[in-house]
Amino acid sequence: MIEIPKAESISTLPLQQQHQKLGQVVDVPMVPLIAHIDTLCRAHGIEIDLRRRTRAVSIRTRSGTGDVDYKPTRSIRIPVITRLTRYFVALHEIGHIVGKQPRTRLEQEYAAWRWALDNAVEQPDESVWLDLHAALRTYIEWAKARQYRQHGRPVIPPRTHPLWALMAHAKANF
């Protein structure tokens, strides 16, 4: 069997070069933040799927057809990092993969945001707090709307859970 070499995937390039391949001009203040995301992903074996416009997601899948060639894959799909909010979104997606993995969806979202805040090299600004609050609020509303289902009800954490303190802190900062 002849193996045909694949073209170099954009995801194997350093993140700054991925930005350039997409025709994205990287502003000087973003360079260290992009380098930080790149370093974290390489350290944790996470592939980056960088897109001009996309909804950010973390992806954990299994590749292979059996026990012999089973290989867990870890990747994130993120928009180009052009501002601080996108840097924190990238950190949040990394947090889904390398941070704590609680059982409930709301706790997972909280844990990923907590990981992002704890591992950032830059302080969040007003726009980051606004995005964080809006994202968590969306998940809270999703969970509340499904409280009356018979099966698979989402769990809303008790008021003593740190999620609520983070929501209050975020709201106070925008």
Closest by CA position to 174, among listed 130, 124, 117: 130
Whole-number pLDDT of residue 70: 47
Say which DSSP state 59 is in.
Answer: E
pLDDT in tens, 4-29: 333 344 555 677 777 677 677 677 78
Quick one: pLDDT at residue 49? Answer: 86
pLDDT at residue 11 in the model: 54
| Per-residue confidence (pLDDT) for residue 60, from 0 to 100 | 64
User: What pLDDT, on a 0 to 100 scale, did the predictor assign at position 5?
Assistant: 35
| Angle value at C-alpha 36, between 30 and 38, nearest 5 degrees | 100
Report pLDDT for 72: 57
The full DSSP string for 86-155 is: HHHHHHHHHHHHHS---SSHHHHHHHHHHHHHHH-SS---HHHHHHHHHHHHHHHHHHHHTTT-SSSPPP
What integer pLDDT is reported at residue 50 of this predicted model? 86
Specify the pLDDT at position 29: 84
In this prediction, the residues of the chain whose per-residue pLDDT falls under 70 are 1-13, 19, 22, 25, 53-54, 60-72
Using an 8 Å Cβ cutoff, are 90 and 56 in contact? yes
Report if pTM > 0.75.
yes
List the one residue out of 96, 97, 100, 80 whose CA is nearest residue 30: 80
Residue 6's pLDDT is 39
